[in-house]
Chain A
Amino acid sequence: MVLRNKKGQESVREVRVKVLEAEDDGNKSLFVFDEPRDARGTALLIHGHKDRADDQWLYLPALKRVKRISSSNRSGSFMGSEFTYEDMTVQEVEKYTYRYLRDEPCGDGLDCVVTERIPVEKGSVYRRQLVWRDKSALRVWKVEYYDRKDAHLKTLTIGEYRQYLDRFWRAGSMAMVNHLTGKSTDLVWTDYRFGTDIDDRDFTRTGLRRVR
């Protein structure tokens, strides 16, 4: 993750993410921070839920403390970046209502659908989002975020899609630009691995104390 301020000064963040997708409830995800080095070993465990607020635990390695934290921090910046926690967590279908707007080319000249989605949760920082999705593989190429006052706050541009296991499309780059502050964040995803032997055990409170 490359954070860039208005003057173009950069700083780098490195995070490892594990996600366990579930059919009946929300996904479980684990974020482990590698850079900056003073935050190394800090880990965030999220048990996502479709029908209620997520459960979140933070692991603080200096104290070896696992702390249940509020999941109301959805609007907060993720590691000082232009991504909020809300942007970083997996987008469950149930968390929005949708409206079809128009057909329009997007990405690299693909045939796309533009949809407006409105967060169901009142705690969201966003009033609405516009989503550009291609018709062939339903990949998201662009998202425009509008704040509570309906001002165009941020634009996310997604690219470098690759297909894994002949099934799963995953993006290699996500660029978030904040139009109000002039700051931006490039999120570069590498080393995607599917079908690894991770299971529920990697997403427990006790497992959180073992993260590296």
Chain B
Amino acid sequence: MPSRALSRALSRALVRLLWFGVCLFGVATHPAASHGQAGIYEVDLTGRLAAENRWFPQTALFQGQGSHASGFVAEPNLYLEDEAGRILNVTPWFRYDSADDRRTHYDLREAYLLLSGAAGNGEWELRLGVDRVFWGVVESRHLVDIVNQIDLVEHPDEKTRMGQPMAYVTWSSDWGVVELLGMSWHRKRTFPGSDGRLRASVVVDNDLAEYESSSGKWHPDFAARYSHTLGLLDFGASVFDGTAREPAFGLCFDCGPQGVPSNSTGPPGSPGPPVPVLYPIYHQIRQYGLDAQWTTGSLLLKLEAIRRSGARNLAGVEETFNAFVLGGEYTFFSLWNTDADLTLFAEWDRDERGRRATNFYENDLFAALRLMLNDVQGTEMTVSVLHDLDKRQSIYGLELARRLSDAFSLDLGAVAITNIERDDLYYDLRQDGFVQLGINYHF
């Protein structure tokens, strides 16, 4: 299978990068390189193993899809620090999914060398390798956050991110924080395979992915951000220029492996109906981002806004657009004189493209309620709704987390999708509400 070949190539490359990092660290910590003051100061192997199950109570719409998937996740972390404070952090990641071979996947979430030091009355920091960077303040979606690709098969909430190779410099002082990133080796967004739920009627084939840039995934991408804290206000302004993280799609009929037309659907000699497949197209985009939070007492007011150009809208036409999330959260601490805290969230998600938007958030209201018991088990429960203000459709979410012992914890999650209209982008997911249960072992 070509995807297997690609995976093998990718894994070889990842392993090479990993070795490169380890060698770099070895050189950096070699006595000759640091005038004898070297030596590993701290070695730490930790991580998480999880067993997970997903149930889809509603009947599947497409052939091959099942109603249950089980699997596991392994996420070990190796941390090395030398006496000079140089750090090597490596976090490989693997998921096995019984139902969908595309959800069975692996990634290098982190593999970076971290150096830092004083600069004037501030500091500098350099990260070389694969890392994840989070920018943003709101809860309903991660709008400004653009450095890392979304690992979509993990969860449809689009909040899980993949590792991204980068050189990442941070320089901070009294005047704020400046971050500069140079990236290459674009990561493709993950999509469910034909046997997976939460997919469109037409399957996305990542092997057919196209890039606008002639240098493909090797195109150098750049990002920068300035952020600062002024009293109660935390804000950041960012810019990204390079390969889009969100793809546009092309439709292709009878594109077999490697784009070669095939007649695999019918008996030899009798061509069957043409088989459609979607292929992702990654354009060159520029995105300006703004994020701000005003923290006053128990109330947090938040804003995230972007302006993106170069991307295609739902009609496949290039359109420069603005989108924002405006909202806040309010916490009732020590609710009714117990240890529990209750937080209310309300956010308005707007994408000015409206029905031409390539996501769910064209004009939506997000409301959520989070209860943290602050008990020994760290029990935490969140219920949320994302309601479309132009249509009747809503997505409901439930998350529950509870510690079972020092090493074990439990996650329960549920997503319900209601009243999706026939012409909506997410119509194919109307039967794909699910319940998931995971048990984590932390070592």
Contact = CB atoms under 8 A, between A and B. Distances in A.
Interface residues of B, number: 47
A164 to B, nearest CB: 23
A210 B440 contact: no
Chain A residues touching B, range: 35 or more
A151 to B, nearest CB: 11
A37 interface: yes
Contacts of B121: 200
Interface stretch (B193-201, B292-300, B357-365): B292-300
A39 interface: yes
Interface in A25-46: 35-40
Interface stretch (A70-78, A112-120, A130-138, A168-176): A70-78
A12 B378 contact: no
A3 B376 contact: yes
Contacts of A17: none
B424 interface: no
Contacts of B334: 75-76, 125
Nearest to B227: A205
Interface stretch (B204-212, B387-395, B401-409): B401-409
Contacts of B118: 201
- Prevailing SS type, chain A contact patch: mixed
Contacts of A20: none
A3 B406 CA distance: 13
Contact of A75 (B136, B333, B375, B443): B333
B134 A64 contact: yes
A74 B378 CA distance: 18
Given A64-B133, A212-B81, A38 B298 contact: no
Interface string B105-149: 000000000101010011101000000111011000000000000
Given A11-B376, A206-B125, 16 more contacts: A37-B407, A37-B443, A38-B409, A40-B442, A55-B229, A64-B134, A68-B295, A69-B295, A70-B331, A70-B333, A73-B333, A80-B339, A201-B122, A206-B172, A206-B177, A212-B87
Sort A-B residue pairs by CB-CB distance and give the 4 closest, nearest first.
Answer: A37-B442, A77-B339, A38-B409, A75-B334
Interface of B: 42, 44, 46, 79, 81, 87, 114, 116, 118, 121-123, 125, 132-134, 136-137, 159, 170, 172, 177, 229, 234, 293, 295, 297-300, 331, 333-334, 339, 341, 374-378, 403, 406-407, 409, 440, 442-443
